[in-house]
Amino acid sequence: MTDRTEVLRADQIWRTYQQGVVEVHALRGLSLSVFQGDFAVVAGPSGSGKTTLLNQFGALDRPTRGTVYVEGRDLSDLSRRKRADLRRDRIGFVFQAYNLVPVLTAYENAELTLLLQGVPAKTRDERVKSLLDAVGLDGMHDRFPRELSGGQQQRVAVARALAPRPALVLADEPTANLDSKTSTELIEMMRRLNDETGATFLFSSHDQRVIDRAKRLVLLEDGQVASDEVR
């Protein structure tokens, strides 16, 4: 993997929370790199640090100690505004709760980040329609979230995450609210997009269906990397 482009790197990061008089170490000197084209899953028991790690990589939180780099940029050097710009432009997010805007259509939800970026209308239209079709929502562009199933809403979320052509898509338990059949279809769809476009995906998940489809599996235990397997 070392000959591939490094997208993300955690260098000896700790994340410590204070609970009353007790210090809780969610991450304990963890080091990990993510490379362009990875389809990687971070797995581990509840409390192992999966979501905390994704929050670090997504510039949603800061480590107590250590450094996180995104495309070679030290996140600790970035202002709050620059971190927000980084999240908008270089990191796509897929959440287990979908997080779609209820008053916007599937098309408008997928387009939203491109509007914030000031992408020209024709480019927005071509990219959004292509992505919605690619995730299996042909003919559903004008539907509102309430008119879509959970799996369809998550497909819109994937299209929205990919629309800005980010360096990385972070997916935190993306199948947690979906039934077995829909979960399998969703992960297969994202695996296909990874194969076809080279988009980099990093999941946190305890769903065995997601774990089974990973090209790389990182196991966390007690805030540390217990194993890192390329398949």
What CATH superfamily classification does 37-62+79-230 receive?
P-loop containing nucleotide triphosphate hydrolases (3.40.50.300)
Cβ atoms of residues 171 and 138 within 8 Å: no
Residue 4 has pLDDT above 90, yes or no: no
Question: Could you state, in order of their start, the residue ranges of all structural domains in the chain?
Answer: 37-62+79-230
- What would the pLDDT profile of 93-117 be if each residue is shown by its tens digit? 999 899 999 999 999 999 999 999 9
* pTM, 2 dp: 0.92
16: Cβ contacts below 8 Å, ≥ 6 apart? 23, 24, 25, 26, 64
Instruction: Among 2-6, 67-71, 139-143, 182-186, name the one with the lowest average pLDDT.
Output: 2-6
- What would the pLDDT profile of 49-97 be if each residue is shown by its tens digit? 999 999 999 999 999 999 999 999 999 999 999 999 999 999 999 998 9
Q: What does the DSSP assignment read for 171-199?
A: EESTTTTS-HHHHHHHHHHHHHHHHHH--
Q: What does the DSSP assignment read for 104-169?
A: S-HHHHHHHHHHHHT--HHHHHHHHHHHHHHTT-TT-TT--GGGS-HHHHHHHHHHHHHTT--SEE
Compute how many other C-beta atoms are within 10 angstroms of the C-beta atom of residue 45. Answer: 12
- What would the pLDDT profile of 196-207 be if each residue is shown by its tens digit? 999 999 999 999
Rounded average pLDDT over 143-165 = 97
